[in-house]
Structure 1
């Protein structure tokens, strides 16, 4: 059996991919207001900084920095997923269950990568901001409304035409993640 080990670094910066159990779902963008509320409540209870984010229909990517003395990103994701799930259920959105009596909205795990340096941070941020184009959702990254790219453009960090514009076709060799 493979033992997966997470890299818990107090005050670390991490890149995460968090995915819905049903990859055909569009619940994240359909209920983005509830997802934002879940982030806001979780951040108020257990602070962290969102350095970059993109919310896609069935998954999201986030670069998160934790407080200096804290390495518990797993607890934050558990709280955030739970809040979002319960908000959906409370508003009447049907959510299937699993054999353990739990809601089956999210995949149980998430993917995490510890950001090593500024080059790694920039590479991961670029990946996040370009992801809607990669998935064929828009032709230009700026056209996707649920992305921190807009914050980067407003701050003058990136130009509005970052990532290009025009019709993008093909999957560029990726397997559709």
Structure 2
């Protein structure tokens, strides 16, 4: 079966990319390797990062591709491969992956959603930024170090106390 992806040339997409081992903390443990891989791919295959969050076992990103270019799949393949090459070969590899010469670090596919409007974009940016709170990695979105929320606050695109009322209200007695 051939898997087809939407090709939105010059479009904006939301992505979810997962590690194969969802109990792993590899993405935050090796954040510098991930950053190097993203930078290298971005130099050869430009894209604009609108929002990004890296959690221990998965990440969410929103990219805009250049006009006339709709190839997010190659970019993700290269990012995953670059990150994987930086790691020692210690992961469990299934027989299927071994036959194909693959590593066992990433889930094979990624989830994507083509952004269709400004409200859709804002909802997905908010989702990216609140995700560490949703997964229990931080009490407030800006407490998580591996998030584009810090750039958004620095540029004045959102306030420093964004979503704080909800986070504080949920704390209650401990």
TM-score > 0.5 by shorter chain = yes
Q: Normalized against structure 1, the TM-score is what?
A: 0.89
Give the aligned length.
Answer: 165
Partner of 1:174: none
Partner of 1:107: 107
Q: After TM superposition, list the pairs within 5 Å mapping 1:1-177 onto structure 2.
A: 5-89=4-88, 94-99=90-95, 100-101=97-98, 102-164=102-164, 165-166=167-168, 168=170
Distance 1:107 1:113 in 2: 17
Displacement, 1:168? Answer: 3.9
Q: Which string of whole-angstrom CA distances, capped at 9 and with x for unpartnered residues, describes residues 103-162 of structure 1?
A: 110000100000001110000000000000000111100100000000000001111110
Distance 2:169 2:90 in 1: 36
Distance 2:151 2:74 in 1: 27
Q: Which string of whole-angstrom CA distances, capped at 9 and with x for unpartnered residues, describes residues 30-62 of structure 1?
A: 000000000000001111111000000000000
Distance 1:35 1:110 in 2: 16
Displacement, 1:94? Answer: 1.9
Displacement, 1:5? Answer: 3.7
Residue ranges of structure 1 left out of the alignment (5+ in a row) = 170-177
Higher helix share: 2
- Cα 1:87/1:16, change in 2 over 3 Å: same
Q: RMSD in angstroms over aligned alpha carbons?
A: 1.5
Residue ranges of structure 2 left out of the alignment (5+ in a row) = none
Q: Normalized against structure 2, the TM-score is what?
A: 0.90
